[in-house]
């Protein structure tokens, strides 16, 4: 009986009682099925001896190998490549191979390529001449491979079949497990104008001095990957899905005009044959320099631009345990270098750029390389290669082992906007960072773009934030992904690379943001960093699949994250959690002097209705005839009687000391009702502001939604009265609608502006400063 009476003490100010609150049902019904916490067991591949349930490589993990010896000649007069290679292919698989598949990625520039014919078209309302020029040039340009010979180790022809961007080489005898085979390929192709036709490699022509910068990649027939999870990865190259490759050693001889400077994957083997004694001395000094050293100065590059070659030179590079090889060549290159110790590995960080890139490139490029190696090595593994290179040319941003191509330049007057400056630093961080993902952690780019671009963009964000305070990163912060998350025209992250919609948001921004949220809000930095580093360590120089990443992150952190992967990677749900209602309960102490006093205050604080106000001056009959008044005209139910006090004393006598303590604690009970509008379950993070002005942060894990994915209520017990509640106060979760994140509701500020359309953009701040019209601003705008 006493327990029943005590339960009745918990009464809502409006007359409700706690025990009247209905039980929450599990959100599973025939009309509205949902289980955001359903495990991924039926989605992920079954673990086996090659890939374990923990996400680590299995005890019988294997991968094949392809070693290359290549000779290539760059024709600077006709913009052509003429080359031959010998590939030694090692079959480490348990399978017998009757044929080999090679990638012919340059065939994307063939006249009949699927990539060109499968392009869709928009309207032609407003088209720049550059775009129209490209549309007209593309059908006329033939940049596909011309395969002139495929021979075995004895020089005998091998039968081969070209299938668009792939080539099958038929072997005379099957290649058994553990065996090697060597064969040679000769080929040539026309180099594309990367400025006018686009592409991940090509040339840029400079009309003023009539010179070229060549950035050469996807330039040789490369082995397709043969894997344990799909056999030959020979999905055709359509342009979006990048490259899936095998590791190997490369020795590449590059013949160019004798006044060219060449940058390439690997270490230069014959410096005395291609460099001057002064350049060699400068390189030696750069190894221990505290700042970048000019190997080729701006003045030397200008003189080279005005001259012409007298012959040809062959630059020889050696690269070990890489999955690809790229190079750049031009007489326009300035070259700077700086040695740097990366956790015990001595690395030469080097930049190659024309005078058109200064003063931006000489100031930032090599420093950005070194900064990237430092930060990425700390979060993953020590950068293992001997060089890291950034090249300025026609390609806006593209990555290869030890070398990357980056585009931003200042204006002709040497000034640049903040967008250009930070755009350069960011793209160098991003492309150098690709050495880690996927050049070393060798994911299948043709299938899963996010596994390299998303992870790399996440690390890029971390590196940017360590460059300077308030660095204007435009990917990584949850608030920046909201518009994309709300959009209709999207597919899940777990979509094959060539079928992605909103490519940059899907493969770069969303996975990077998801990992940032996972690090900051779900796991915390310590757990996340340990697990992420373990993933990188496990799959260094190996080939992970998505399941290996998901499983390793859970295995090393000790946290079940299937709900997170399902929501962020397998769905297009967005985050929109609403505070629907707040119900305020408090304990009825049964003390008549307290409770009736509070009820009197509530009664007196109620607003006077319009009718009550207008009815008050009307004559009342009981005032005209006082005899009509009786006991109830002077009775007030909120007056405290001695009988009330006696009943309270009797009630207290039945309570234990603990029950009396609870009764007199003056606690407030707030039931906060939440609604999951966007569908993506996330932790609930609250900032509670009390009437005394103090604030408190409360964090509830995503598992709060496990029994009902759509609506939940949370009880907050506090001795203080709550004035307001804010959901996701520090914008941690990418919540799409901030208007419903407040209780009571408050307006969300926004701004709009009008503008007059201009043909030419306004001067950048550096130009205005030169004219004395403005002063540099302290805050950096987002690029």
Helix (H, G, I), strand (E, B) or coil at 502: coil
Please give the Cα distance from 372 to 361 (Å, whole number): 16
Q: What are phi and psi of 745, to 5 degrees?
A: -60, 150
Helix (H) or strand (E) holding 368: helix 360-379
User: Quick one: tokens of 635?
Assistant: 């009775």
The residues that bridge with 714 in the sheet, in sequence order, are 672
Residue 14 in this model has a pLDDT that exceeds 60? no
What are the tens digits of pLDDT across the range 323-362?
999 999 999 999 999 999 999 999 999 999 999 999 999 9
Long-range CB contacts for residues 49-55, cutoff 8 Å, separation at least 24: 50/228, 50/229, 51/228, 51/229, 51/545, 51/547, 51/548, 52/551, 53/551, 54/551, 54/552, 54/555, 55/535, 55/538, 55/547, 55/548, 55/549, 55/550, 55/551, 55/552, 55/553, 55/554, 55/555
Share of the chain above pLDDT 90, in %: 81
DSSP 8-class letter at 740: G
What are the tens digits of pLDDT across the range 274-302?
999 999 999 999 999 999 999 999 999 99
Size of the chain, expressed as the number of residues it contains: 783
pTM of the complete model: 0.90
User: Looking up tokens 């950068």, which residue turns up?
Assistant: 383
Residue 756 in this model has a pLDDT that exceeds 80? no
Q: What would the DSSP string read from start to end of 414-480? A: S---HHHHHHHHHHHHHHHHTTTTTTTS---TTT-THHHHHHHHHHHHHHHHTTSTT---SSSSGGG
Q: What is the mean pLDDT of residues 177-201?
A: 96
Q: What is the pLDDT of residue 186?
A: 98
Q: What is the pLDDT of residue 21?
A: 38
Q: What would the DSSP string read from start to end of 150-187? A: EEETTS-B--EEEETTEEEEEEEEEE-TT-EEEEEEEE
| Per-residue confidence band for 64, with pLDDT thresholds at 50, 70 and 90 | very high
Q: What is the pLDDT of residue 30?
A: 57
The residues that bridge with 57 in the sheet, in sequence order, are 51
Q: What is the pLDDT of residue 277?
A: 98
Helices (H), 539-576: 546-557, 562-569
Contact between 415 and 766 (Cβ < 8 Å): yes
Least confident of 315-329, 496-510, 640-654: 640-654
Residue 768 in this model has a pLDDT that exceeds 90? no
Q: What is the pLDDT of residue 16?
A: 35
Q: What is the pLDDT of residue 45?
A: 96
Q: What is the pLDDT of residue 503?
A: 95
Q: Which positions ≥6 away from 750 have C-beta within 8 Å?
A: none
Please give the Cα distance from 267 to 263 (Å, whole number): 10
Residue 544 in this model has a pLDDT that exceeds 70? yes
Distances in Å between the Cα of 492 and the Cα atoms of 448, 510, 511, 573 are 12, 10, 10, 9
The residues that bridge with 674 in the sheet, in sequence order, are 579, 712
Q: What is the mean pLDDT of residues 500-513?
A: 97
Residue 15 in this model has a pLDDT that exceeds 50? no
Q: What are phi and psi of 540, to 5 degrees?
A: -60, 125
User: Quick one: tokens of 714?
Assistant: 């949370």
Q: What is the pLDDT of residue 18?
A: 37
| Per-residue confidence band for 1, with pLDDT thresholds at 50, 70 and 90 | very low
What are the tens digits of pLDDT across the range 408-429?
999 999 999 999 999 999 999 9
Residue 124 in this model has a pLDDT that exceeds 90? no
- 222-247: string of b/e by CB count within 10 Å (b at 16+)? bbbbbbbeeebbbbbbbbbbbbbbbb
Q: What is the pLDDT of residue 666?
A: 87
- Per-chain mean pLDDT for the chain: 92
Contact between 304 and 259 (Cβ < 8 Å): yes
Please give the Cα distance from 729 to 115 (Å, whole number): 46
User: Quick one: tokens of 305?
Assistant: 């631009």
At residue 259's C-alpha, the angle toward residues 253 and 262, to 5°, is 40
Contact between 192 and 394 (Cβ < 8 Å): no
Q: What is the mean pLDDT of residues 241-269?
A: 97
Contact between 355 and 438 (Cβ < 8 Å): no
What are the tens digits of pLDDT across the range 564-574?
999 999 999 99
Helix (H, G, I), strand (E, B) or coil at 596: helix
Q: What is the mean pLDDT of residues 633-647?
A: 91
CA dihedral 312, 313, 316, 322 (to 10 degrees): -50
Contact between 567 and 734 (Cβ < 8 Å): no
Residue 95 in this model has a pLDDT that exceeds 50? yes
């Amino acid at each position: 009986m006493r327990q029943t009476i005590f339960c009745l003490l918990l009464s809502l100010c409006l007359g409700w009682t706690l025990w009247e609150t209905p039980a929450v049902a599990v959100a599973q019904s025939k009309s509205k099925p949902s289980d955001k916490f359903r495990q991924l067991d039926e989605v992920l591949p079954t673990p086996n001896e090659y890939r374990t349930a923990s996400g680590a490589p299995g005890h019988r993990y294997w991968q094949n190998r392809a070693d290359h010896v290549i000779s290539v000649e760059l024709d600077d007069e006709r913009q052509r490549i003429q080359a031959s290679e010998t590939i030694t292919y090692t079959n480490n698989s348990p399978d017998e191979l009757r044929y080999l598949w090679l990638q012919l990625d340059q065939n994307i520039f063939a006249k009949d390529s699927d990539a060109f014919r499968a392009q869709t078209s928009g309207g032609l309302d407003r088209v720049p001449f550059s775009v129209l020029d490209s549309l007209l040039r593309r059908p006329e340009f033939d940049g596909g491979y011309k395969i002139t010979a495929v021979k075995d180790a004895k020089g005998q022809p091998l039968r081969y079949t070209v299938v668009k961007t792939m080539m099958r080489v038929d072997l005379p005898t099957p290649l058994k497990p553990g065996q090697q085979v060597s064969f040679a390929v000769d080929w040539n192709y026309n180099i594309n104008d990367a400025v006018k036709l686009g592409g991940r490699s090509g040339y840029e022509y400079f009309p003023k001095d009539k010179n070229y910068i060549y950035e050469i990649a996807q330039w040789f027939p490369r082995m397709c990957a043969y894997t344990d999870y799909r056999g030959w990865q020979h999905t055709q190259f359509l342009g979006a899905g990048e490259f899936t490759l095998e590791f190997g050693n490369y020795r590449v001889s590059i013949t160019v005009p004798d006044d060219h400077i060449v940058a390439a994957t690997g270490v230069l083997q014959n410096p005395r044959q291609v460099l001057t004694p002064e350049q060699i001395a400068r390189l030696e000094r750069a190894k221990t320099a505290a700042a970048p050293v000019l190997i080729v100065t701006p003045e030397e590059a200008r003189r080279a631009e005005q001259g012409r070659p007298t012959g040809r030179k062959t630059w020889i590079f050696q690269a070990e345990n890489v999955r690809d090889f790229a190079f750049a060549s031009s007489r326009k290159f300035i070259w700077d270098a700086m040695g740097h110790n990366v956790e015990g590995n001595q690395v030469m960080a080097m930049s190659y750029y024309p005078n058109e890139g200064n003063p931006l490139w000489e100031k930032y490029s090599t420093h950005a390389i070194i900064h990237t190696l430092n930060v990425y090595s700390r979060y993953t593994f020590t950068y293992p290669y001997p060089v890291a290179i950034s090249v300025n040319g026609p390609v806006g941003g593209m990555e290869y082992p030890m070398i990357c191509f980056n585009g931003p330049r200042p204006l002709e007057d040497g000034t640049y906007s903040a967008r250009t400056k930070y755009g350069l630093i960011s793209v160098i961080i991003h492309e150098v960072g690709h050495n880690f993902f996927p050049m070393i952690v060798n994911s299948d780019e043709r299938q899963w773009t996010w596994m390299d671009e998303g992870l790399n963009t996440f690390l890029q964000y971390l590196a940017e934030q360590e460059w300077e305070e308030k660095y204007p990163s435009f990917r990584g912060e949850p608030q920046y992904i909201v518009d994309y998350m709300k959009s209709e025209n999207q597919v899940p992250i777990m979509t094959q690379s060539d079928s992605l919609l909103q490519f940059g948001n899907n493969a770069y921004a969303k996975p990077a943001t998801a990992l940032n949220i996972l690090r900051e809000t779900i796991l915390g930095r310590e757990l996340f960093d340990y697990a992420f580093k373990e993933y990188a360590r496990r799959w260094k120089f190996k080939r992970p699949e998505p399941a290996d990443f998901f499983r390793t992150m859970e295995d090393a952190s000790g946290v079940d994250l299937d709900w997170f992967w399902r929501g962020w990677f397998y769905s297009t749900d967005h985050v929109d959690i609403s505070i629907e209602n707040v119900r305020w309960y408090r304990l009825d102490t049964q003390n008549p002097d307290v409770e009736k006093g509070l009820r009197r205050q509530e009664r007196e604080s109620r607003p006077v209705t319009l009718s009550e106000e207008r009815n008050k001056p009307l004559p009342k009959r009981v005032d005209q005839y006082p005899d009509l008044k009786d006991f109830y005209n002077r009775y007030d139910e909120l007056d405290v009687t001695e009988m009330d006090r006696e009943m309270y004393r009797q009630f207290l006598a039945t309570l234990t000391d603990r029950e009396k303590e609870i009764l007199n604690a003056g606690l407030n009970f707030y039931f906060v009702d939440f609604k999951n509008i966007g569908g993506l379950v996330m932790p609930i993070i609250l900032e509670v502001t009390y009437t005394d002005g103090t604030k408190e942060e409360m964090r509830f894990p995503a598992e709060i939604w496990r029994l009902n994915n759509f609506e939940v209520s949370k009880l907050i017990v506090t001795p203080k009265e709550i004035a307001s509640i804010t959901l996701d106060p520090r914008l941690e979760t990418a919540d799409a609608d901030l208007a419903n994140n407040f209780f009571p509701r408050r307006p969300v500020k926004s701004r709009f502006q009008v503008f007059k359309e201009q043909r030419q953009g306004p001067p950048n701040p550096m130009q205005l400063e030169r004219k004395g019209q403005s002063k540099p601003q302290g805050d950096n705008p987002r690029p």
